[in-house]
Amino acid sequence: MFIGGGIFVLWAFWTDIRARKIPNFLNILFMISGLAYHLASERWEGLLFAGKGFALGFGIMLLLYAFRAVGAGDVKLFGGIGAWFGIGMTAQILMYSIVFAGVIGLVIMLWRRETIVRMRRVLWKVTGALLWKQPLRATPEEQKQYLTFPFMAAVLPSVIFCYWYI
């Protein structure tokens, strides 16, 4: 289970770092192979195990995609992670990925020396939403200033971290 899922995670990491995109064929293969592996090895219980993991990973990432926090490839990737690793490990990988992404983003902001400016902008946006009922959605000009990096840079350490502690 860990070897099969690990191969796909490494493959997705390589393509995301190289091209800033995770191809659909890889994500679909990741999801189908996880479901098929668990169906073949544990029958219906295995399919249920993989299905729950898929639903959790895909569902939570779909919510993050709706807020434009992640890309569509990341949503499908976490469906595959859930299909291979199940609901428990997928929940941990999701949590650690978000923590690692926050740390990576903070390091990039510190490196570029833009931390104070960005934090002030976020605080102003949240305050405006809470007090004056202004929408939190960014304008196209603000979206161009977003700090982006390949999310797999946070997912791979999370998978390794979870595997290490199991």
Nearest to 90, CA basis, from 38, 42, 21, 18: 38
Report pLDDT for 45. 96
Q: Model-level pTM?
A: 0.78
Each residue's pLDDT, cut to its tens digit, for the chain (166 residues) gives 678 889 999 999 999 999 989 999 999 999 999 999 999 999 999 999 999 999 999 999 999 999 888 889 999 999 999 999 999 999 999 999 999 998 998 888 777 776 677 677 777 777 777 776 666 565 666 555 566 788 899 999 999 998 888 7
For the chain, give every domain's residue range.
2-164
Element housing 107 (H / E): helix 72-112
The residues near 69 (Cβ < 8 Å, ≥ 6 apart) are none
The Cα 14–Cα 146 span in angstroms is: 23
